[in-house]
Amino acid sequence: MKITGNMLLGQSEQLGQYGEIFAINPATGEQLPPAFGSGNQQQVTAACALAEDAFQSYRSTSAEQRAAFLEQIAVNILDLGDDLVERAMAETGLPRARIEGERGRTMGQLRLFAGVVRAGQGLDPRIDPAMPERQPLPRSDLRQRHVPLGPVAVFGASNFPLAFSVAGGDTASALAAGAPVVVKAHSAHPGTSELVGRAIQLAVKQCDLHQGVFSLLYGSGRMIGTGLVSDPRIKAVGFTGSQAGGTALMKIAFERPEPIPVYAEMSSANPMFLLPATLAANPTALAAGFCGSLQMGAGQFCTNPGLIVAVDGAPLQQFIDECTGLLSQSPSQTMLTPGIQQAYVSGAERLGQSTGVEQLAKGLCSDAPNQCQATLFATSAEAFIADKRLTEEVFGSCSLVIRCQDEAQMLKVAKHLEGQLTASIHCNDNENEDLVRNLISVLELKAGRVLFNGYPTGVEVCHAMVHGGPYPATSDSRSTSVGAAAIQRFMRPVCYQDVPEKYLPAEIDSANSRGLTRLVDGVLSNA
């Protein structure tokens, strides 16, 4: 399929006239054709108007129609074939296996949400039947379901060109909720974005939906991003990216005449706690596992392990020695964009120059452009607690070992952390159970996911996943951006009081025509 550089406005396409964007192959530094035309306020307005036009008919589609639409998008993405894989590789510097894996994950997400829609998950149907004889006052018939908030603006993420971009988790969950979507493509992979956008555009047509269900825009955050989040027809925002970017969108959304929710997944240092007996038993295996997780995808994962917390001593030194050995022989890797690479270099430099921080290891150097050399630093718990900047994520293969005097100080470090996407505990059966329980108690209040004896990279797309966490990991800890529960972000409850049967939505009708499990008078029931 040809890549044109055009934006997709419903079933139309249009070349933006507000400047040109070119993709760069970060592995070579070369500019990739074609030029993508940046849009301006005119296309933002057009896309939002289309989305609003589409909203009533799209949210009224049956569960089966919507599920089939999601599945059709998955089919169309696969049908793009190697054109998609090769363009994504060229635009990101990521290897084929990763892109193919991510394509599979993207299709899996779409199919998961198709299942969520068919099962009626996220609707939370509730029925409190009328009690006409109740004294002193009768009770009305009261029913509740969830409806979509309205059109959603989605920002493609740089680090998941497929799974958190044009047809990624935010788009899939919003479409599943019944919300039309306007995507701002990430400028790092516009060609990948156009190809996937065309797969969605085609599915809209194949499924005979209102064309406004999906649009795709190119352009700057200042023009397209601000324009989308400010548009009164947009009712929620999905974003994955930097804390600066996320908080800027939060501010725009908050200052609208009608504030709207922003689901921004921003930054996380993903601390790993290596408990004493476990560290003493397995320093080599832990070092190998950690170094693998740290360097996966050049560390460009939201869940990259950026902090190691352990009691100082011989086992920790052995762990560090093993890591130093592994990392100093590690070839550098191509990062996603020149900007990300520059931020990595300056972030690692800043960290290395901080008071009380020493560099332990650095990966191999290379002449290729945009390289990430893995870097490992160490500091003391006191220094870590004294300097808030040491808690900040350095995006890339960079991690900081925090040497604690004892278990109590490990807990103190845990309490000092700000919000995280994940917190890992490495712990065998010989550990102090009280310490483990206390750590869980602290960490489950700090992180969206607490994991044992594993590495935080690799986020399973399933029903129980939480890819979220307290600020600044995300803008809204009450949600997840990965997994089935992500659909809830784009819905709100409505109560129907004494609404005649013929006007009731199917999910709360008296016949239970959708066969859902519903909360009837406070008790779950299939009746």
What values do phi and psi take at 185, rounded to 5?
-65, 145
Q: Is 339 exposed, middle or buried (0-12, 13-18, 19+ CB in 10 A)?
A: middle
CB of 205 or CB of 437, closer to its own copies: 437
SS (H, E, C) 173-186: HHHHHCCCEEEECC
What is the distance between the alpha carbons of residues 82 and 76, in angstroms, rounded to a whole number? Answer: 13
Q: Is 344 exposed, middle or buried (0-12, 13-18, 19+ CB in 10 A)?
A: buried
For tokens 């296309």, the residue is 43
What is the distance between the alpha carbons of residues 366 and 93, in angstroms, rounded to a whole number? Answer: 15
Q: In 3D, which of 213, 182, 211, 203 has the Cα closest to residue 77? A: 203
Could you give the C-alpha distances from 209 to 11, 60, 66, 202, 497, in angstroms and in order?
11, 11, 9, 10, 31
In 8-125, which ranges are continuous DSSP H helix? 41-59, 63-79, 81-92, 96-118
Question: What residues are paired with 238 via a beta bridge?
Answer: 154, 263
The catalytic residues are 265, 302
User: Smallest distance from the beta carbon of 98 to its own copies, in angstroms?
Assistant: 13
Q: Is 31 exposed, middle or buried (0-12, 13-18, 19+ CB in 10 A)?
A: exposed
